[in-house]
Structure 1
């Protein structure tokens, strides 16, 4: 007689898929490692196929194991939405909310809006996850996160989005640089400059390349940065110039006066930041309330989209 598949087993498989390590998966699932191994084995018996390859050195999912893990993510997300829907009579923005945010938005927006959000919605327990767009999107699809703050566009038909604000790009140059003598900078001014960029995977890197032109701006890949703060320090060290989103320099002290910020001549290149969630999520009404709150409490440097 075959075992019935349980949601618990699916959660454990997803934990193994995320970590590729039984010990780490057991810690994440708050279960002992032998118990987790036993549950995975029962799931394999129920499905009649091997899901996980176990060796002394590493853990890998089989091809069918990867497929089952992806379906498990969708099932767990559906169950979470079902639970949220059943509890939908509770007041908006109360309880746990897992918010994902990209690194070029989070540090510059959230500290300026979260204090008032907590005062307005004291029953809200907000858990933040900062990561690159691609990984956040996967976590939203799997139900690990409830909603995301992302730069648009995000081409995922299963998502719904609410635009929040438009944010202009600015140019950061070393003090005394030829462009520092100008009131405004044009995109063509960057043609022969060493334009410093974030490392691969950051959506802001792609947006900056779109502004500069892939061929016109000389991209110093060997100096690709992991954060906007690092980019500013590199500019201060006179390695090159860079593009920054306006919020990252509004009200921020720049390295020892060694960096000058100049706006683009109109029309300024910009990006649109939106709140994104699964189209089937039961808490869609709450997310729209959150979007409206964020639009009403934006800091200087962000222009609300109504």
Structure 2
């Protein structure tokens, strides 16, 4: 059994399709099919159930998927440990979309100057996908907002961040000197899609104050939330880091009276994977920036 066979198998399992897997691997579909066929002959049973438009894992395939991930992760960790000089290597960073473009650029720039031989790869995705990638070793750490279901991950809070009320300039609350969350209850909200944890933070905060925000529109981009507020589609709550990057005069940001809505930004990683000195240095860099 060859390592490439395992890599090819995992790609087909992820894509559930030979054509898409071959495109991702940049090999011909016939070469991929021959590799999987040879693997199945060696195992003595099929690992995929072939259907018209997709393939699914057999019971043997499910077991092989788990073992293949462990084998490839162990080899990757062994190579990283042998070559761990504390200065070079790759750190794979994941971050949710409401953090990545606002928090990471400066961090990456400063770290790259300190460690010029290191390479940093950034993946932006939803919390669920990042935690899955972190658990499976596809990324080294994930920068997310609490709470998270991190059963097999180590989690370290970095900092708390205020959520600001964003209003169109002509909104009646703009001139109100002291705005409480209850004052916002009559107005519709513009929120991110349910896949984004910021929406959960907002809804949970409102529920704790005995009301559920009426959502008129949902979008996948924080910038679109801001634009829809500018167009008087509703109001919203925006993280401080996004507010600091917004110099538009088409929106007004107000800090709510205590208790202020906040979120906690944290970093999560898989403690069962090899932790290189470079990765530990990057985590410390994140902690220092958070402090």
Are residues 6 and 294 of structure 1, via their aligned partners in 2, closer, same or farther at CA, if it must alter by over 3 Å?
same
Instruction: Report what 1:187 is aligned to.
Output: 181
Provide TM-score, normalisation by structure 2: 0.90
Moved more, 177-186 or 62-71: 62-71
Q: Identify which of 124, 127, 133 aligns with 1:130.
A: 124
Structure 1 CA distance for aligned equivalents of residues 242 and 214 of structure 2: 21
- What is the CA–CA distance in structure 1 between the aligned matches of 2:276 and 2:155, rounded to whole Å? 10
> 1: distance between equivalents of 2:52 and 2:174?
58
Deviations 1:218-268 (A, max 9, x none): 332x621111101001101111100111100103223xx221101122332
The TM-score with structure 1 as length reference comes to 0.86
Q: List runs of 5+ in structure 2 lacking aligned partners.
A: none
Out of 256, 272, 292, the residue aligned to residue 264 of structure 2 is 272
Which range moves more in the overlay, 171-180 or 47-56?
A: 47-56
TM-aligned CA distance change 1:194 to 1:74, over 3 Å: farther
Contact 1:104 1:204 in 2 (8 A): yes
Q: 1:274 to 1:218 in 2, by over 3 A?
A: closer
Structure 1 position 135, deviation (Å): 0.9
Q: Distance in 2 between matches of 1:67 and 1:184?
A: 59
| Equivalent residue pairs, number | 290
**RMSD between aligned alpha carbons?**
2.2
Q: Partner of 1:234: helix, strand, or coil?
A: helix
Offset of residue 16 of structure 1: 1.0
Alignment counterpart, residue 217 of structure 1, candidates 212, 216, 219: 212
Distance across 2 between alignment mates of 1:87 and 1:270: 41
Deviation digits for residues 255-298 of structure 1, max 9, x if unmatched?
A: xx22110112233221121222111222254333213223434x
Q: State the match for 1:173 in structure 2.
A: 167
In 2, distance between residues paired with 1:241 and 1:190? Answer: 8
* 1:250 pairs with 2:262: no
Q: Distance in 2 between matches of 1:262 and 1:224?
A: 21
> Of residues 3, 6, 9 in structure 1, which corresponds to 2:5?
9
Mapped to 2, the partners of 1:125 and 1:182 lie a distance apart of 49
* Structure 1 gap ranges (5+): 298-303
- Post-superposition offset of 1:183: 4.1
Contact 1:192-1:216 within 8 A present in 2 as well: no
* Among candidates 99, 108, 113, match of residue 107 of structure 2: 113
List aligned pairs for 1:1-306, cutoff 5 A. 5-62=1-58, 64-88=60-84, 90-92=85-87, 94-213=88-207, 216-220=211-215, 223-254=217-248, 257-283=249-275, 285-297=277-289, 304-305=290-291
Q: CA offset at residue 101 of structure 1?
A: 0.9
Contact 1:169/1:269 (8 A) holds in 2: yes
Tell whether the 8 Å contact from 2:189 to 2:217 is kept in structure 1 after alignment: no
**Is the contact made by 1:101 and 1:129 (CA closer than 8 Å) also made in structure 2?**
yes
Runs of 4+ in 1 over 6 A off after TM superposition: none
2:70 and 2:128 mapped to 1: Cα distance? 17
